[in-house]
Structure 1
Amino acid sequence: MTILAVPAAGSLRQRLVDDMTLRRFSRETQRNYLRDVGRLATFLRRSPDTATVDDLRRFQIAQQEIGLGVPTMNAIVSALRFFFVHTIDRPDLARRLVRLNHPRPLPDVLSPEEVGRLLGATVCLKHLAALSVAYGAGLRVAEVAALKVADVDSTRMLLRVERGKGGRDRNAMLSTDLLVLLRRWWIEGHRQGVLHREGWLFPGQDWARSISTRQLHRIVVEAARSAGIPKRVGPHTLRHSFATHLLEDGVDIRVIQVLLGHARLDTTALYAKVATRTVRAVTSPLDRLALFHGEGPAPG
């Protein structure tokens, strides 16, 4: 049983969809929220808008007992809080949901040399262009897939990102080399009949539909394997590498926050922990004492 199967759930489901659409949630977020509210309906075997405080407590204990990970459980909490606050106006229930602490692991980051090898291992111009956008502009994989030809603003040297994470629009950077590559892809894609001025920048097998995020993930994994990169690599690895390399090159972290579209600075600050060149560039206060430049004391 899901939210679709309970009595009168059709209108409740539509209200939830309308509330998410009003806030410009992405299709993926809407799908995830519907699924997670459906988890509660399945557990209750009745409409989720009839849940009580005790129901929510039992539900969260049951989710933990079946072995759901902390990130998944917290994602369910986000979905249910939205449902209770915005769709059925029960913020008192939302406050009773428990969000678990989860130390965020450091992301895997490629070196600039590894990025070059990965991009060089792509098998066609479309794949090269798509992965170059992910790295060169720091876009999320869903943002790369959603780009349209018209989003490339060569006059202002920007990529328009519509409805990014949280439904927010923003401008991403468009470097000179990336523009050159995208123009090459436009010429080739237009010749093949798959690129159109009002269409997707990276169409799938059918030119009328965009490439899927799953396909982009496969492209990255296959390129990393061909390049002999042993690290666990996905599309988001290129975004992590973009941010880390900018930080190592001395770009202000607040600028990187804007480029990434992060709502909070502490999210961007994670990259300071993996910016190894930044760490190596700092002079230790011990070195400033210059105690050991000479012969020094004898061992023992």
Structure 2
Amino acid sequence: MAFARHLTRDRRRSAHTVRAYQATAERLLAFLREHWGGPVDAAQLDRATAADLRAFLAARRGEGLSNASAARELSAVRAFLAFAGAPPPRIAGPRVKKGVPRPIAPAEVVALAEEVSEDAAEPWIAARAWAVLLLLYGAGLRIGEAMALTPAILPLGETIRVTGKRGKTRIVPLLPAVRTAVEAYAAACPYALTPEAPLFRGAKGGALSPAIIRRSVRMARVRLGLSDRTTPHALRHSFATHLLGRGADLRALQELLGHASLGSTQIYTAVDAAHLLDVYRNAHPRA
């Protein structure tokens, strides 16, 4: 449809975003046809009201959408209506209740990573954002550690060697999804990835600044209505607490996170369960 072409050609959105936004547009049109009891064309979209959009979101929420996913759905609706020449009605997006404690729920991590990627100016920058955020959440890296990686880690195996604070190195297992994300970025990056250069590049080819990632996360969490505690470091925190939720040994977790003292690791109390401990036990050479 023309909306998809607009997103690809004019907005330079990633293929993932184009598919997601087109699907939302199709769902909205189908809903309005039933809601209004007749066919819907571009001219009729101009009469869509805030009440209509709230009804659409309510129907989607009834299908099981989380707050974060519903907020992304609304973002796509606004983009579609603007493309159709119908100024989107003012409507507040769904918000996560204040005081949501850390760690970030897995679904919110995915929504955050998708939102950051979808806001990227270029498809390769979207792939870069996805890879960086998955390294923080799926491998527990500090943002500075991720920025310090070089193409020497390629091709990726089951683990990577990470250099942390005070030059201490550690071995970190990689989930398949993390490996896929980093490899997709490496394939899409327009700059030569020589072994000594930074793996993650800025838009002009220099080393990517952590500030760029922090700013992108900050803007995305506002759009999604997530807590202001949703930061890049909170993704690493979630990685650790999810591991403990499955019964990870503190000493093993200390080594995995690169903490100099056990006291630093003990701040992570038992929380929601996750499956990463199984990956750690299977992939880490000292597990």
TM-score (normalizing by structure 2): 0.53
Deviations 1:224-266, CA, capped at 9 Å, x for gaps:
2233212422211111011011111222222211110011112
How far, CA to CA, are the matches of 1:198 and 1:212 in structure 2? 17
Alignment of 1:178-189 (within 5 A): 178-189=178-189
**2:13 counterpart residue number:** none
How far, CA to CA, are the matches of 2:227 and 2:272 in structure 1? 21
- State the AA in 1 paired with 2:262: L
- Could you tell me how far 1:194 is from its partner in structure 2? 5.2
Identify the match of residue 201 of structure 1 among 199, 202, 212.
199
Deviations 1:52-97, CA, capped at 9 Å, x for gaps:
xxxxxxxxxxxxxxxxxxxxxxxxxxxxxxxxxxxxxxxxxxxxxx
| Structure 1 pair 276–169 and aligned structure 2 pair: CA distance change class (3 A) | closer
Find the structure with the greater CA-based Rg: 1
- Match of 1:159, SS state, is strand
**2:128 counterpart residue number:** 126
**1:277 counterpart residue number:** 272
How far, CA to CA, are the matches of 2:192 and 2:223 in structure 1? 27
How far, CA to CA, are the matches of 1:142 and 1:216 in structure 2? 11
How far, CA to CA, are the matches of 2:187 and 2:195 in structure 1? 12
Identify the match of residue 139 of structure 2 among 137, 140, 144.
137
Q: Does 1:169 align with 2:169?
A: yes
Q: Does 1:117 align with 2:111?
A: yes
How far, CA to CA, are the matches of 1:277 and 1:130 in structure 2? 23
- Could you tell me how far 1:186 is from its partner in structure 2? 1.3
| Structure 1 pair 176–118 and aligned structure 2 pair: CA distance change class (3 A) | same
- Match of 1:193, SS state, is coil
Runs (5+) with no aligned partner, structure 1: 1-106, 279-300
How far, CA to CA, are the matches of 1:277 and 1:205 in structure 2? 37
- Match of 1:144, SS state, is helix
Report if aligned partners of 2:241, 2:272 keep a CA contact under 8 Å in 1: no
- Could you tell me how far 1:199 is from its partner in structure 2? 2.5
Report if aligned partners of 2:147, 2:200 keep a CA contact under 8 Å in 1: yes
- Could you tell me how far 1:206 is from its partner in structure 2? 3.5
Report if aligned partners of 1:152, 1:158 keep a CA contact under 8 Å in 2: no
How far, CA to CA, are the matches of 2:104 and 2:173 in structure 1? 20
**2:232 counterpart residue number:** 235
- Could you tell me how far 1:111 is from its partner in structure 2? 1.3
- Could you tell me how far 1:211 is from its partner in structure 2? 0.9
- Could you tell me how far 1:166 is from its partner in structure 2? 2.0
Count of matched residue positions in the alignment of Structure 1 and Structure 2: 165
Deviations 1:2-33, CA, capped at 9 Å, x for gaps:
xxxxxxxxxxxxxxxxxxxxxxxxxxxxxxxx
- Match of 1:179, SS state, is helix
How far, CA to CA, are the matches of 1:152 and 1:136 in structure 2? 18
Report if aligned partners of 1:131, 1:220 keep a CA contact under 8 Å in 2: no
% identity of equivalent residues: 36
Q: Does 1:213 align with 2:210?
A: yes
- State the AA in 1 paired with 2:246: D
Report if aligned partners of 1:139, 1:239 keep a CA contact under 8 Å in 2: yes
- Could you tell me how far 1:153 is from its partner in structure 2? 5.9
How far, CA to CA, are the matches of 1:131 and 1:201 in structure 2? 14
- Match of 1:271, SS state, is coil
How far, CA to CA, are the matches of 1:195 and 1:219 in structure 2? 23
- Match of 1:270, SS state, is coil
Report if aligned partners of 1:145, 1:202 keep a CA contact under 8 Å in 2: yes
How far, CA to CA, are the matches of 2:238 and 2:129 in structure 1? 18
**2:11 counterpart residue number:** none
| Structure 1 pair 261–152 and aligned structure 2 pair: CA distance change class (3 A) | farther
How far, CA to CA, are the matches of 2:110 and 2:243 in structure 1? 16
**1:47 counterpart residue number:** none
Deviations 1:144-183, CA, capped at 9 Å, x for gaps:
111111134623x222222x11221222221221111111
**2:160 counterpart residue number:** 159
- Could you tell me how far 1:120 is from its partner in structure 2? 1.7
Identify the match of residue 258 of structure 1 among 255, 258, 262.
255
Higher relative contact order (CA 8 A, sep 6+): 2
- State the AA in 1 paired with 2:220: A
